[in-house]
């Protein structure tokens, strides 16, 4: 039986300039685990299956589709992103339903993180 949902976002690939450095960043900031498929691709593991990947190429940077992650502790996640070498591009702010911030990774990709409080 499949654990995929019809027409839901199923897999996100993040284009990075350095797969090894990006794996280290995402592992340090978010605890992500990877499956290597050679020097230019690493699958992102989660919830019992692969949910995305890091692929070597020319990143789109800011302004493309925004991937938003969930955090149970937004303030701790901000600290972890900074400690891993990420740059906070939008400081935490409140919105109806919670709080959120944006950051750029080592390749300049912008992602968001939200929490219920």
Neighbours of 55 (CB within 10 A): 17
Predicted pLDDT of residue 63: 84
Using CA atoms, how far apart are residues 27 and 43, in angstroms rounded to an integer?
Answer: 12
Using CA atoms, how far apart are residues 101 and 115, in angstroms rounded to an integer?
Answer: 9
Domains in the chain, please, with CATH? 12-115 (3.10.180.10)
Smallest CA-to-CA distance from 59 within 20, 15, 23, 89 is with: 15
**77's tokens:** 């996640």
pTM for the whole structure: 0.92
Each residue's pLDDT tens digit, 26-63: 999 999 999 999 999 999 999 889 999 999 999 988 88
Do residues 69 and 12 touch, judged by C-beta distance below 8 A? no
């Amino acid at each position: 039986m499949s654990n995929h949902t019809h027409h839901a976002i199923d897999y996100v690939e993040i284009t990075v300039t350095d797969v090894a450095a990006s794996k280290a960043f995402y592992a340090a900031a978010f605890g992500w685990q990877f499956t290597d498929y050679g020097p230019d691709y690493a699958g992102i593991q989660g919830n019992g299956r692969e949910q995305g990947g890091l692929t070597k190429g020319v990143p789109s940077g800011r302004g493309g589709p925004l991937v938003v992650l969930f955090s149970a502790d937004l303030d701790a996640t901000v600290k972890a992103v900074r400690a891993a070498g990420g740059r906070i591009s939008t400081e935490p702010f409140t919105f109806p339903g919670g709080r959120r911030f944006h950051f750029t990774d080592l390749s300049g990709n912008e992602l968001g993180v939200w929490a219920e409080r």
